[in-house]
């Protein structure tokens, strides 16, 4: 059989059965959940003597793989103008800035005025839940590249990202390799560690099984 599958950041060309070749310019990680909406800024107060600026809104927290929202800037303090017979009032104080939102796993935290960047999770396959069976498959030339910016995210799992149980206790994501070998060639993740469960090829734990004959 032949299989073509389009994917964010790249595509799978037609190939031989049992061969999985994919080239990515960006990591095709799962979409981060939507962050909470930021709180609206507080309105400024105004008296004849002084007008203070309102406080900036708080940034929303990012979902899994998503960056945190930006914290709002505080409003500028107003000033009371002069009339024909008296001097104007004092200039009001500026409002306090809002608190930036925190990122979900793999994303960058928000900063004042800027949202955090998203993560690149799984250049070829992102497994959030359920079970994936692989048999005589080759992953070659895949990339997991996180978003850049003032608060960058993380790139994990150049070929495969398996959501760990500690990040999603109810997900029970599994990738089972049946009848080795599994070929992993020239895959790359921007933030890979030198560990079996966090490498340029795979983030998470693979399970190996042999078919009973």
Predicted confidence (pLDDT) at residue 77 exceeds the cutoff of 90:
no
Q: Which of 117, 145, 171 is the last residue of a domain?
A: 117
pLDDT digits (tens, 9 = 90+) for 12-68: 333 333 444 444 334 343 444 444 444 445 555 545 455 667 777 777 777 777 776
Please spell the DSSP secondary structure of 46-63, one letter per residue: B-SS-BPPPPPPPPPPP-
Instruction: Say if residue 25 is in the same domain as residue 48.
Output: no
Q: Range of 186's domain?
A: 5-29+119-209
As a whole number of angstroms, the longest Cα–Cα distance in the chain is 102
pLDDT digits (tens, 9 = 90+) for 135-191: 889 999 999 998 888 888 999 999 999 998 887 777 678 899 987 778 999 999 999
pTM, 2 dp = 0.65
User: Any idea of the CA torsion for 143, 128, 114, 149, to the nearest 10 degrees?
Assistant: -10
Instruction: Say if residue 173 is in the same domain as residue 161.
Output: yes
Tally of domains in the chain: 2
Instruction: Tell me how far apart the alpha carbons of residues 92 and 80 are, in angstroms, rounded to a whole number.
Output: 9
């Amino acid at each position: 059989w032949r299989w073509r599958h389009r994917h964010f950041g790249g595509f799978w060309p037609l190939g031989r059965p049992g061969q999985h070749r994919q080239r990515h310019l960006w990591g095709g990680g799962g979409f981060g959940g939507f962050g909470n909406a930021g709180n609206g800024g507080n309105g400024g107060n105004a008296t004849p003597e002084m007008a203070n600026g309102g406080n900036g809104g708080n940034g929303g927290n990012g979902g899994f793989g998503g960056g945190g929202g930006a914290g709002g800037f505080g409003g500028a303090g107003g000033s009371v103008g002069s009339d024909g017979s008296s001097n104007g009032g004092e200039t009001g104080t500026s409002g306090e800035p809002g608190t930036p939102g925190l990122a979900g796993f793999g994303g960058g935290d928000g900063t004042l005025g800027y949202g955090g960047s998203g993560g690149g999770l799984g250049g070829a396959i992102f497994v959030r839940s359920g079970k994936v069976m692989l048999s005589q498959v080759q992953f070659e030339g895949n990339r997991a590249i996180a978003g850049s910016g003032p608060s960058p995210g993380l790139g994990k799992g150049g070929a495969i990202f398996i959501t760990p149980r500690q990040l999603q206790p109810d997900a029970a994501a599994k990738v089972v390799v049946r009848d080795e070998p599994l070929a992993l060639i020239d895959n790359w993740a921007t933030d890979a560690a030198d560990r079996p469960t966090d490498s340029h090829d795979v983030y998470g734990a693979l399970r190996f099984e042999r078919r009973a004959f």
